[in-house]
Amino acid sequence: MSNQDQNVVLITGAGIGIGRATAKAFGALNYRVFVTDVLQAEGEVVTAEIRLAGGRAEFHPLNVRDTAACDEIGATVEKKYGAIDSVIANAGIAHKVPLDELTDEKWDLTMDIDLKGVFRIIRAALPGMKQKKSGSIVAVSSIMGIAYGWDEHAHCSAAKAGVVGLVRGLAVEPGRHGIRVNGLAPGFIRTAQALSEQHSKGESGLNAVSASVPLGRVGEPEDMADVITFMVSDKARYLTGQTIMVDGGLAIQSH
């Protein structure tokens, strides 16, 4: 198989959580996986795991706040393997900050990573996709950006809602070039973020949430990865501009 014969996917925030599970899922589907993260050790472990399972993967450190670095990784991938086939814009943070402590700097940090960081990596990949006249992009939002407010996380909810609007806006113009743009809005998922006592629910909080989920459990990162790989695949060839909420039914029930 030549370098040009294998689909290429670039994933941000791929060292842990949903990004990690997604990278491994694409590796199992015979994609060439570009694992990117600010967490170098974790990213290298994921890359090694994909390779050990027989897949192809490379790790590249990436801070999505850095426009030049996003542009550079896009150019690097294209130079080696041609246009990027799929981008999974997953990198994000969710720090708990009460409103009376929510400074401009804390607000801007979240927006710069969770919203503008999504745009930066997508923008870097679009020219190659346009030239190839194909491509699929998935941006990770949150149930908190669609259905729920989140106590002491107003800045996070705003950024994740922004991702939903970005998906709609981005889907229109590149659509004529055969490029699809969709979003994923996870519910409560068992990730390091959700397990954080400082910034989220913690283990006990997640266990309590499970009782409220119609499917009877919180989600696993692999649950999200399988939906992402579907959205990128040809089985979702007529799907664009949509953000799919994958929450085990949490948001549709009345209380």
Residue with the two structure tokens 């948001």: 251
> pLDDT tens, position by position, for the chain (255 residues)?
445 568 999 999 999 999 999 999 999 999 999 999 999 999 999 999 999 999 999 999 999 999 999 999 999 999 999 999 999 999 998 898 999 999 999 999 999 999 999 999 999 999 999 999 999 999 999 999 999 887 888 999 999 999 999 999 999 999 999 999 999 999 988 765 554 444 455 566 677 788 889 999 989 999 999 999 999 999 999 999 999 999 999 898 866
CA 250/CA 253 separation, integer angstroms: 6
Residues 137-152 as b/e (b if ≥16 CB within 10 A, e otherwise) read bbbbbbbbbbeeebee
- Any idea where the domains of the chain sit in the sequence? 3-188+220-247
| CB of 93 closer than 8 Å to CB of 114 | yes
Per-residue model confidence as pLDDT tens digits over 162-217: 999 999 999 999 999 999 999 999 998 876 555 444 445 556 667 778 888 999 99
Rounded Cα distance, 69 and 74, in Å: 9
Q: Does domain 3-188+220-247 have CATH number 3.30.1200.10?
A: no
Q: Which residue has the tokens 């689909």?
A: 7
Helix (H, G, I), strand (E, B) or coil at 75: helix
pTM of the model: 0.93
